Amino acid sequence: MSQDPKLKEIGDQWRSNRVKRIYGDFAKARQLNPQQATQFFDLLAKEESRKRDEESSLYGGDGNEEASAKQTEQQFAMQKADIERQLKLLLGDNDYAAYEEYKKTAPQRSAFLRIHEDLARNNTPLSAEQAEALLQIMLEEDSQRILDRAETILTPEQRQELERFQDQQDEIERARIEAAREMVSPNKSITPGPTISPPSR
């Protein structure tokens, strides 16, 4: 994607929209003005793009490019530090600390968005009240209790679709991990990063 300008632009736009949906509540809660909110979302989208490029770089090259790999790693680290510096300047100490706390819930919020979209695509959309309640459950519970508690707010059709979606995401994640292992050369090791797929039962 990074080699095709048009596809890269589409990917960047997708990430930007996703960032706004995940961190929109934070921007409202911290009362960021429109200009601050735009800068905030742009920086977060830039960080998402940086992380994607960094992950992709792990699968490129071979074992004979150690020096080049270290240089690339340093470049990504510098980019990350620069983005963090700009966020601190933009938000100030208090709001940046609040952002760090909010960021811990980003995986659950991202998973919720995917569930929300999947239910809508399959003609079992959540009402506003259901969406709010389900998000709160996902923020509060561990993976074993989410489906049980969600049963109290979902219709049988919605619960069935949620269960199907979770099983599908589990399978995708297993395939992703297996593919990552195959792409890494035998003399390298990789620790899969945290996922944002919906928790399994």
pLDDT by residue for the chain (201 residues), tens only, comes to: 446 778 877 877 888 899 999 999 999 999 999 999 999 999 999 999 898 888 877 765 544 566 677 888 889 999 999 999 999 999 999 999 999 999 999 999 999 999 999 999 989 999 999 999 999 999 998 776 888 899 899 999 999 998 888 888 888 888 878 876 776 554 544 445 444 444 444
Q: Please tell me the predicted confidence (pLDDT) of residue 65.
A: 60
Nearest-CA neighbor of 37 among 20, 12, 15? 20
Q: Which residues of 152-162 are buried (b: 16+ CB within 10 A; e: fewer)?
A: ebbeeebbebb
Domain boundaries, the chain: 1-104, 105-201
Q: What pLDDT, on the 0 to 100 scale, is given for residue 61?
A: 52
The CA distances from residue 149 to 137, 142, 144, 145, 169, in Å, are 7, 11, 10, 6, 19
Let me know how many helices (H) and strands (E) the chain has, helices first. Answer: 7, 0
User: What are φ and ψ of residue 32, in 5° steps?
Assistant: -70, 135
CB neighbour list of residue 78: distance below 8 Å, 6 or more residues apart: none
Q: Which amino acid is at 5?
A: P
Q: How far is residue 29's CA from residue 33's CA, in Å, rounded to a whole number? A: 11
